[in-house]
Structure 1
Amino acid sequence: MRDLGWILLYLLTVVGVTLIHQPLYLLIGLVVVILFSGSLRWRLLRKALLSMLLFNTAVSLGYLIIALLRDEFRVEYLILINVRVLLLVMLGFWLSARINFANALRFSPTLTFLTTLAAGQIRLMSRIINDYRAAFESRCLKRPSWRDRSRLAVVQTEAVVEQSHHAATEIGQAMRSRGVFND
């Protein structure tokens, strides 16, 4: 029941964070989350920064270009959206490192089932990515160029998307046959 309480607190916190429009308060929240992360703080922060890097760079550049073209650029807004996303991602990683989702959702057989499926898919996709990376590294005598690593990323993405599509189809059929969906 304690894990379910953390999930509910997380959901309330996410709503609260989206209602805050002052970057200073979001920064204070981020510092609090970092401090409460204990020994995991730097690993979680690094993971959060890396996971949001591509998305936030694209969004920030898009905002920058449009705002400059319209002569409406506000650095405060750019800081606000980036700090908010970092705080939300950090909260998500902190929660997932802290609780057992299957245990928290055991009150509902359907949610437990979905959680188990999601965890299995995450492990499967991680294994596919690690297998591709290991195969790639075992075939290289020296450090691969940025172009070669980019090609690997494209191939990994294609494999993960293909596997995800196949798995989603199979899982959807299995869930429908077990009565999870009422269609």
Structure 2
Amino acid sequence: PVLIALLAAVFLDERFTAYLGLGLALAFGGVALISVSTSESAGHDVVGVFLCLLSAVVYSISLILQKPLVARLQAVHVTWLACTVGAVVCLPFAPGLLRELGEAPASSTWWLVYLGVFPTAIAFTTYAFALKHMSASNLGVTTYLVPPITIVMGWLALGETPPTMAYAGGALALVGVAVARRKPRVRADAAAPA
């Protein structure tokens, strides 16, 4: 979200307000608190950290590139185009997929179908629709809602109880999103016609 907001300010001429900056800092701090409090290992995988940062940069760039597309095309078309490009890139792996599908249990095949339909097709189409109707910065900051929601879902569905600091981090992330999405007040004397 921080990279999206910075890139949107530079390439999409979106305003980077004080509320957005403060909200991003608070939400990032909350997610960092969740991450640190739930980390089970003392060591850090440098390659893994680098790959996470690389994926964040690539995702941010892709979102900035999608914004002009969704202004002209329907969300389903943008999602279809992105999935088609992904499928074409994965074509070299098709023979292995077909071979392994024959050996895999039916449940694994259905999970693969589920991943293609719900978290990919439906979720990304919804995300593209939202991107069409709001700024990239405001949409990007809403992704900070994922860790607190995941904590609650893990608690309800799996009986997982994260450390107390994870709850504090979740609350901080929620506050950060609320602050970042706050609209600056328009002063009454500035709004009155001259």
TM-score range, shorter chain: under 0.3
| TM-score, length-scaled by structure 1 | 0.28
Report the TM-score, using the length of structure 2 for normalisation. 0.27
